[in-house]
Amino acid sequence: MDQLLQHGLNALMLGGTYALLGIGLTLIFGIMKVVNFTHGELYAFGAYMMYALVMLLGVSFFVALPLAIALGVALGALLELVLLRRLRAADIDTTMLVMIGAWIALQNAEQLAWTGVAKSISTPFPAAPLVIGPVSVAWNRVFVLVIALILIFVAYLVINRTKLGRAMRATFQDRDTAALMGVRIGNIHTATFALGSGLAAAAGALLGPVFVAYPSMGDLAAAKAFAVVILGGLGSIPGATLGGFILALVEELGAGYVSSGYRDAMGFLLIIVILLFRPTGLFARKERVG
Amino acid sequence: MTPILQIRNLSVRFGGLAAITDMSMEVREGEVLSLIGPNGAGKTTAFNAITGYLALTAGERVFRGRNLKGMRTHEIAALGLVRTFQKTSLFGGRSALDNVLIGLHLRARQTPLAILLALPYVAREEKELRGEAEKILAFVSLEKRKDELASALAYGDQRLLEVAIALAAKPKLVMLDEPVSGMNPSETASFMAKLAEIRALGTTVLLVEHDMKMVMGVSDRVVCLSQGRIIADGTPAEIQRDPEVIRAYLGERYKHVAGAR
Amino acid sequence: MKAAATAAFVVVLASVPLWLDNAYFLHVLIVTGIFIIAAMSLNLLLGYAGQLSLGHVAFFGIGAYASALVSLGFKLTFPFEIEVQAKPVWLAMLMGMLAAGASGWFIGRIAFKVRGAYFVIVSISFVEVVRLVAVNWVELTQGPMALNNIPPLEVWGITFLRKPANYWLVLGVAIASYVLIRRLVCSRAGRAMVALAENEPLATSVGIDVTRYLVLAAVVSATMAGAAGALYAHYVRIVDPDVFLFIYTVTMVIMVITGGKGTLAGPVVGGLIFGLLPEGLRAAAIAPEAQWIVYGLLMVLVVYFLPRGIVPAFTKIRG
């Protein structure tokens, strides 16, 4: 029972960050219909920015975090403006290829800049874990969960309570009509990509200090983000949130009770199985974002 | 005349919306039957439901004695029921000849294994198919454009190519969805002549059309659909005088016009 | 005219081991050739049948592993007791192709149910699952410690151990693959695949069975990729789970799309460029990461300026 509780708790920490990754991707995938291969790189970018700010520049941890996220948003906007703008009318393979090219370039740039050695980022939290009855949880993980939940809530607010969010939802439902109603599709795309990338960077900035930062960390994160999107249905923030926690739980239980080596396979197996039975995702509600 | 297609109590609902309600009609072998009705009456929906592109909520379709229930779209086409699409639908990136060659799919026998082993009959069949495709293109007067990209053809020619593709599949009943929409009067007139030729070959034609002149000119019978229901079924002359039809098209105010004919 | 040029090209290619002194470069050509075979097979599924499959290296790897395992013999205790004695390599290679083809069938059936971008994700997930199985099912695959000492192909008394022999073997298989794909594509089956990729409702309206032709494309494509994998296994004679890395699928995709998807020469041209390019960059003594960055940027540039690929752009200029 205790083991189960511990697994559940661990799943909560991871789930929050998976949810962030998933929400970011579901917005990009849903609104822009782009299979975003750079999503993982933004995750790694967030982690590396924390490293640079905290370890190299001596910035305070709590200041570095929002800064790293902001940098992620900026990078996302930059990528959209430079790469994707011109591809508006292109078919899906062309866009995919450009995103793959960008992914290769980004990951290797990261490798070049920071070398392949994993980097650890120190946090201001006490090393001794918080013990609640039979379970223990590290302070920094609690912090991660709290911030993740806050950011999820913020994302939800942006999409559902702001003018920008409304424009994004309209674009998701029917791009042409939205354009006719005066929505500047180009700006919406840039905002969406920036927002989604920011969330990925946030996930990286949060998890980087918990684990370590290394150049290919983004690959697995991207894969999990896709799993979450499929679990939760395209464009659905509650779906992606729920999906993130479900995936984390499945991974934790799988690793604990089946085999830890296959931990990462859980997400993929889940994807395959779900898509076989529900080819558009588990909680997919058509034509809705938010 | 035997019915080649029988529709009984066909209904199609989308959630709360009834697109087609209790539609019953038949198409007799060898005739040209036109399906008319104001916009949104459900004509294309009926086409989609009959040929398996849309699921039925209720009803039966019997084609040449076979119940079409549960059959997939390509299986229905293989039985000899071929339809065209309301919006111009072609293999745009291929030449006109290739388009018709694709339409000839069912007429070829090559199996994948034979193709990979390059058995001699494959090459022979390819030659035959090419000749057949050229003949079909000539039938719609497009033989000079056979190597042109389908997407580069003039609009009227594209619509003719669509019909050519459908004919290539050797249908017993061909369902044409607004084949002359967007065509100018001279193109429409030459299409009407083509229709007569198609019919002379023994192919039954079910037509959805808005162009009344064409409908009255080519049809043996006309069925009028309004708001998902059949409101009239008869010869062109009968339909023209039918008060329900006039009301559907022109509204209540013109009902009295019927008596004037 | 074109036939003569092609024949001359093939003759030149065949003569290479006779005059090329550099063993390393010959090795590069062999590996490039193997990748070109895989790229041609991907082109059938991606370029002609229009399926956004990003899991192609799964077929390659399955072919490699299956062939290696059958040629080495293996023993399992879980999930059931099974022992397979080492078999001759040519038989092992056929088994490899069969295993790959079977997984192709599986993917083909999925492709029919799951469409578009979702299929991309399923295909990526499939490879990852296979890779993780290869890493973790140590009893069968030796996991990261790799399958070693894989025997080379031996037929009619010839052992394909040295590089020139392998070069000719790969060249032969590549030419055979090209011919097979050409036959398929210029036939009724090829037209059916292209039709369903371009306009599926129209294709079904003339009687084309979508599932059948998707599965056909997937099976032929996978079997060919499996053959490439088997060639690889018995040439380098070591196979480890890294063969399933996403980057190899990416390499194949790059070769196909920049060369020109849906054209016969596309994967060959793309394969030669992106197979030989890393070597050219390496020769210029740039750091490996920088090479990849150049790679990535080059991809983006080609896609921007030649959106349909190199071969179609070339044909347009000429025609």
**Higher pLDDT, residue A280 or B187:** B187
For each of the domains in chain B, give its residue range(s) and CATH number, in order of start. Answer: 1-80+171-261 (3.40.50.300), 90-167 (no CATH)
The reply to whether A269 touches chain C by the CB within 8 Å rule is yes
- Give the chain C residue nearest A231 (alpha carbons): C118
C123 in any annotated domain: yes
C8 in any annotated domain: no
**Cβ separation B105–C184 shorter than 8 A:** no
pLDDT for position B85: 92
Q: Based on the structure, what is the number of domains in chain C?
A: 1
Residues A279 and C112 sit within 8 Å (Cβ to Cβ) = no
C294 in any annotated domain: no
Residue type, C264: L
Distance from C-alpha of B43 to C-alpha of B231, rounded to nearest angstrom: 13
C151 in any annotated domain: yes
- Confidence band of C10 (pLDDT split at 50, 70, 90): confident
C 140-159 → B contacts, CB under 8 A: none
State the CB neighbour count (10 A cutoff) for residue C319: 5
A74 in any annotated domain: yes
Closest alpha carbon to B231 in B33, B31, B37, B6: B37
* DSSP state for residue B221 in the 8-state scheme: E
Least confident of A89-98, A225-234, B13-22, B154-163: A89-98
**Mutation target among B51, B73, B88, B175 for the C interface, most CBs of C within 10 A:** B73
C228 in any annotated domain: yes
Do chains C and B touch by CB distance (3+ pairs < 8 Å)?
yes
A176 in any annotated domain: yes
Provide, as residue numbers in chain C, all residues whose Cβ is less than 8 Å from the Cβ of B118: 183
Distance of CA B13 to the CA centre of its chain: 23
- Give the chain A residue nearest C46 (alpha carbons): A93
Distance from C-alpha of A221 to C-alpha of A22, rounded to nearest angstrom: 10
C4 in any annotated domain: no
**Host domain of residue A188:** 16-215
**Mutation target among C181, C200, C206 for the B interface, most CBs of B within 10 A:** C206
Residues A204 and A221 sit within 8 Å (Cβ to Cβ) = yes
The reply to whether C308 touches chain B by the CB within 8 Å rule is no
Residues B58 and B228 sit within 8 Å (Cβ to Cβ) = no
The reply to whether B49 touches chain C by the CB within 8 Å rule is no
Report chain B's mean pLDDT, rounded to a whole number. Answer: 88
A279 in any annotated domain: no
How many inter-chain contacts (B to C, CB under 8 Å) are there? 93
The reply to whether A209 touches chain C by the CB within 8 Å rule is no
- Chains in contact with chain C (at least 3 beta-carbon pairs closer than 8 A): A, B
**Mutation target among A25, A31, A104, A231 for the C interface, most CBs of C within 10 A:** A104
Q: Based on the structure, what is the number of domains in chain A?
A: 1
| ipTM computed for the complex | 0.89
C80 conformational bin, left if phi > 0, alpha if psi -120 to 50, beta if neither:
beta
- Chains in contact with chain A (at least 3 beta-carbon pairs closer than 8 A): C
Closest alpha carbon to A227 in A51, A7, A14, A3: A14
Provide, as residue numbers in chain C, all residues whose Cβ is less than 8 Å from the Cβ of B115: 183-184, 187-189
Whether the per-residue pLDDT at B239 is higher than 50: the answer is yes
Mean pLDDT over residues C199-204, rounded? 92
C52 in any annotated domain: yes
- Give the chain C residue nearest B79 (alpha carbons): C207
Provide, as residue numbers in chain A, all residues whose Cβ is less than 8 Å from the Cβ of C297: 101, 105
Per-residue pLDDT for chain A (290 aa), expressed as one digit of tens each?
A: 677 878 888 888 889 999 999 999 999 988 888 889 899 999 999 999 999 998 888 888 889 999 999 999 999 999 999 888 877 767 777 788 788 888 888 888 888 888 878 888 888 877 778 777 777 788 888 888 899 999 999 998 988 888 888 888 888 777 778 877 777 888 888 999 999 999 999 999 998 888 888 888 888 888 889 888 888 877 788 888 998 998 898 888 877 777 777 777 777 887 788 877 776 666 554 444 44
**Host domain of residue C113:** 25-244
Contacts of B216 (CB under 8 A, 6+ apart): B222, B236, B240
A248 in any annotated domain: no
The reply to whether C75 touches chain B by the CB within 8 Å rule is no
**Cβ separation A98–C122 shorter than 8 A:** no
Distance from C-alpha of B156 to C-alpha of B186, rounded to nearest angstrom: 11
Residues A195 and A76 sit within 8 Å (Cβ to Cβ) = yes
pLDDT for position A289: 45
Half-sphere exposure of residue A83, counting CA atoms within 13 Å on the CB side? 31
The distance of C142 to chain A (nearest Cα, Å) reads 14
- Confidence band of B261 (pLDDT split at 50, 70, 90): very low
Query: pTM surpassing 0.95?
Result: no
Provide, as residue numbers in chain A, all residues whose Cβ is less than 8 Å from the Cβ of C133: 265
C277 in any annotated domain: no
Least confident of B24-33, B84-93, C276-285: C276-285
How many inter-chain contacts (A to C, CB under 8 Å) are there? 124
* Long-range contacts, A12-15 (Cβ 8 Å, 24+): A12/A145, A12/A245, A12/A248, A13/A137, A13/A141, A13/A142, A13/A144, A13/A145, A13/A210, A13/A248, A14/A248, A14/A251, A14/A252, A15/A244, A15/A245, A15/A246, A15/A247, A15/A248, A15/A249
